[in-house]
Amino acid sequence: MENELKIIRLDEKNIADEHICCAISDKKCMEGYHLKKNWLKKHFPRGFVFKKFNVKHKVFIEYMPAENAWIPVEAPGYMLINCFWVAGQYKGRGLGKRLLRECMHDSKDKNGIMVVSSHKKRPYLADKNFFLKYDFEMCDTAPPYFELLVKRNNKKSPLPGFKKIAKENKCKNNQGLTVFYTHQCPFTDYYVHVELKEIAKEYNLPLKIVIIETMKDAQQIPSAFSHYSLFYKGKFLAHEILTKNKFHKLWEKINS
Whether 82 and 152 map to the same domain: the answer is yes
Tens of pLDDT, residues 105-127: 999 999 999 999 999 999 999 99
pLDDT for position 189: 96
Tens of pLDDT, residues 202-255: 999 999 999 999 999 999 999 999 999 999 999 999 999 999 999 999 999 888
Total number of domains in the chain: 2
We report the CATH number of the domain holding residue 156 as 3.40.630.30
pLDDT for position 130: 96
Q: Is the pLDDT of residue 200 over 70?
A: yes
Tens of pLDDT, residues 3-36: 578 999 999 999 999 988 776 667 899 999 999 9
Whether 24 and 72 map to the same domain: the answer is yes
Whether 177 and 243 map to the same domain: the answer is yes
Residue 71: pLDDT band (50, 70, 90) is very high
pLDDT for position 225: 96
Whether 104 and 65 map to the same domain: the answer is yes
pLDDT for position 27: 84
Percent residues over pLDDT 90 in the chain: 87
Q: Is the pLDDT of residue 98 over 60?
A: yes
Whether 94 and 201 map to the same domain: the answer is no
We report the CATH number of the domain holding residue 242 as 3.40.30.10
Whether 108 and 28 map to the same domain: the answer is yes
pLDDT for position 24: 67
Domain final residue, candidates 111, 144, 163: 163
Domain final residue, candidates 163, 190, 225: 163
Whether 19 and 83 map to the same domain: the answer is yes
Residue 134: pLDDT band (50, 70, 90) is very high
Whether 103 and 56 map to the same domain: the answer is yes
pLDDT for position 1: 46
Whether 228 and 183 map to the same domain: the answer is yes
Whether 81 and 137 map to the same domain: the answer is yes
pLDDT for position 108: 96
- pTM score of the predicted model: 0.94
Whether 109 and 208 map to the same domain: the answer is no
Tens of pLDDT, residues 144-185: 999 999 999 988 999 999 999 999 999 999 999 999 999 999
| Full DSSP string of the chain | -GGG--EEE--TTTTTTS--STTTT-GGGHHHHHHHHHHHHHHGGGT-EEEEESSSSSEEEEEEEGGG-SSSEE-TTEEEEEEEEE-GGGTTSSHHHHHHHHHHHHTTTSSEEEEEEESS--TTSB-HHHHHTTT-EEEEEETTTEEEEEEESSTTSPPPEE-HHHHH-B-S--SSEEEEE-TTSTTHHHIIIIIIHHHHHHTT--EEEEE--SHHHHTTSSSS--SEEEEETTEEEESSPPPHHHHHHHHHHHT-
Whether 144 and 182 map to the same domain: the answer is no
Tell me the residue range of the domain where 235 lies.
166-254
Domain final residue, candidates 120, 140, 163: 163
